[in-house]
Structure 1
Amino acid sequence: MRFNEYRILWILVFFDLPTETKKERQVYAKFRKDIMCDGFSMFQFSIYLRHCSSRENADVHIKRVKRSLPPKGHVGIMTITDKQFGMMELFYGKDAEALPDTPQQLELF
């Protein structure tokens, strides 16, 4: 199946983890590092996103996030289509900002 804006997904991971003790900060840093090593990039503080070419690919990365979940704190995982992501409006103060670039897809056939 060819890529289209309804099949391509974005995964958003939202988290609020405790950071009061040294151990909690280590757990926070490990979780953040784990999702970044899996291709997520920071969208805002404690909001990370990743582009996926299909539902199957998104499911793989969602399972990886779930394996890295810390014992405490709140973590949310949401998927949206590329079409929905493209309709997002971003602002920095009152000035509109451009959306992050969509990664280029390599299509062989």
Structure 2
Amino acid sequence: MRVVLFFDLPMVTNEDKKRYRKFRKFLIKEGFIMVQESVYSKLVLNSGSARFIYKKVDQNKPTYGLIQLLTITEKQYNNIEFVLGKSSSNILDDIERVIII
């Protein structure tokens, strides 16, 4: 499963920018990977893990803006069709184990 997070935060004042940076750092610390600007995804094992992530995002949300969460299966995520541009191959974002020798 995968949790996809979409957000749109105000960036008008210095305080807005500070809140944006703090929220983005939280996402990265929690293991979210940037898919494109303001769209992040995170692999989760099951719906319980997804609910836990939902709660953590709610606890760390900024004061203003729009944040949306969507849980989809890995099969659904892999069916993403690129209309323009291409997938970044330098990002490891699957559930396969990595062994570096």
Query: How far off its partner does 1:98 sit?
Result: 7.1
* Structure with the higher fraction of residues in strand conformation: 1
CA contact (8 A) 1:51 1:103 kept: yes
Q: TM-score, normalized by length of structure 2?
A: 0.84
**1:66 equivalent in structure 2:** 58
CA contact (8 A) 1:91 1:97 kept: no
**Cα distance in 1 between the residues matched to 2:8 and 2:71:** 18
Structure 1 runs not aligned, ≥5 long: 1-8
CA RMSD of superposed structures (Å): 2.1
**1:75 equivalent in structure 2:** 67
Which has more radius of gyration?
Answer: 1
**1:20 equivalent in structure 2:** 12
| Total equivalences in the alignment | 96
Deviations 1:1-44 (CA, angstroms, capped at 9, x unpaired):
xxxxxxxx110110100011110000000011111100001000
The DSSP-based 3-state class of the residue aligned with 1:53 is coil
Query: How far off its partner does 1:103 sit?
Result: 2.7
**Cα distance in 2 between the residues matched to 1:19 and 1:98:** 27
Between the two proteins, what is the percent identity of the paired residues?
31
Query: How far off its partner does 1:46 sit?
Result: 0.4
**1:6 equivalent in structure 2:** none
Listed as ranges, the matches of 1:1-109 within 5 Å are 9-93=1-85, 97=87, 101-104=93-96
